[in-house]
Amino acid sequence: MQEIKLTDVRYRPKYHIAAKSGWLNDPNGLVYFKGYYHVFFQHYPYDAVWGPMHWGHVRSKDLIHWETLPIALAPDQEDGCFSGSAIEYDGKLFLIYTAHYNLKEDGSKSYQEQNLAVSEDGINFTKYQGNPVIKPPLANNTENFRDPKIWSDGQDFYCIIGGQTLDNRGQVLLYKSHDIYHWTFEKVLATSKVSTVQGTMWECPDYFEINGQKVLVVSPQGIEPDGEFYQNHHENGYFVGQEKEGNFIYPQNSFRELDRGHDFYAAQTLLAPDGRRILIAWLDMWEQKYHEQADGWAGMLSFPREITIEDGAVRMRPIRELGKIRRETLLNESTAQGQYTFSSPCVEVQFKAMQDLAFEFTRGFEKLSISYQNGKFLLEKTGYKQRKITWKMETLDVQILSDASSIEIFIENGPVISERFYGEGDLELKFQSTKDVAVKTYRLEL
Ligand code: FRU
Q: Which of 53, 83, 85, 171 to mutate to test the pocket of ligand 1 (most atoms within 8 A of CB)?
A: 83
The pLDDT value recorded for residue 104 is 85
Cβ(83) – ligand 1 distance below 6 Å: yes
Q: Catalytic one among 26, 206, 263, 403?
A: 26
Q: Is the distance from CB of 203 to CB of 281 less than 8 angstroms?
A: no
Helix (H, G, I), strand (E, B), or coil: what is residue 203?
strand
The last residue of one of the domains, among 302, 318, 334, is 318
Q: Above 90 in pLDDT, residue 110?
A: yes
Calculate how far, in angstroms, residue 210's C-alpha sits from the geometric centre of ligand 1.
Answer: 26
- pLDDT (tens digit, 9 = 90+) per residue, 49-103? 999 999 999 999 999 999 999 999 999 999 999 999 999 999 999 999 999 999 8
Indicate whether 155 and 265 sit together in one domain: yes
The pLDDT value recorded for residue 108 is 85
Taking the C-alpha atoms of residue 146 and residue 246, their distance in angstroms, rounded to an integer, is 22
Q: Above 90 in pLDDT, residue 346?
A: yes
Give the nearest ligand 1 atom to 100 CA. Answer: 10
Rg of the chain taking only CA atoms, in angstroms: 22
**Domain assignment present for 17:** no
Indicate whether 377 and 239 sit together in one domain: no
Indicate whether 185 and 260 sit together in one domain: yes
Q: Which of 146, 265, 284 to mutate to test the pocket of ligand 1 (most atoms within 8 A of CB)?
A: 146
Residue closest to 416 by CA, chosen among 312, 307, 278:
307
Indicate whether 296 and 329 sit together in one domain: no
- What is the percent of the chain with per-residue pLDDT over 90, rounded to a whole number? 96
Q: What is the DSSP letter of 300?
A: B
- Mean pLDDT for the chain overall: 97
Indicate whether 313 and 421 sit together in one domain: no
How do beta strands 213-221 and 237-244 pair? antiparallel
Q: Is the distance from CB of 315 to CB of 322 less than 8 angstroms?
A: no
**Domain assignment present for 11:** no
How do beta strands 145-152 and 387-390 pair? unpaired
**Domain assignment present for 415:** yes
How many whole angstroms from its chain centre is CA 327?
Answer: 27
Indicate whether 266 and 236 sit together in one domain: yes
- 274 as an active site residue: the answer is no
The last residue of one of the domains, among 287, 318, 349, is 318
- pLDDT (tens digit, 9 = 90+) per residue, 313-345? 999 999 999 999 999 999 999 999 999 999 999
Give the nearest ligand 1 atom to 50 CA. Answer: 12
**Residue 32 belongs to domain with CATH number:** 2.115.10.20
Q: Is the distance from CB of 201 to CB of 261 less than 8 angstroms?
A: no
Indicate whether 314 and 346 sit together in one domain: no
Cβ(164) – ligand 1 distance below 6 Å: no
What is the extent of the structural domain holding 91?
22-318
Q: Above 90 in pLDDT, residue 34?
A: yes
The pLDDT value recorded for residue 137 is 87
Q: Above 90 in pLDDT, residue 231?
A: yes
Q: What is the DSSP letter of 137?
A: P
The last residue of one of the domains, among 263, 287, 318, is 318
Indicate whether 274 and 378 sit together in one domain: no
**Residue 412 belongs to domain with CATH number:** 2.60.120.560
Residue closest to 403 by CA, chosen among 369, 440, 340, 446:
446
Kind plus residue range of the DSSP H or E element containing 195: helix 195-198
Give the nearest ligand 1 atom to 53 CA. Answer: 12
**Domain assignment present for 359:** yes
Indicate whether 183 and 225 sit together in one domain: yes
Cβ(266) – ligand 1 distance below 6 Å: yes
- pLDDT (tens digit, 9 = 90+) per residue, 161-170? 999 999 999 9
Q: Above 90 in pLDDT, residue 266?
A: yes
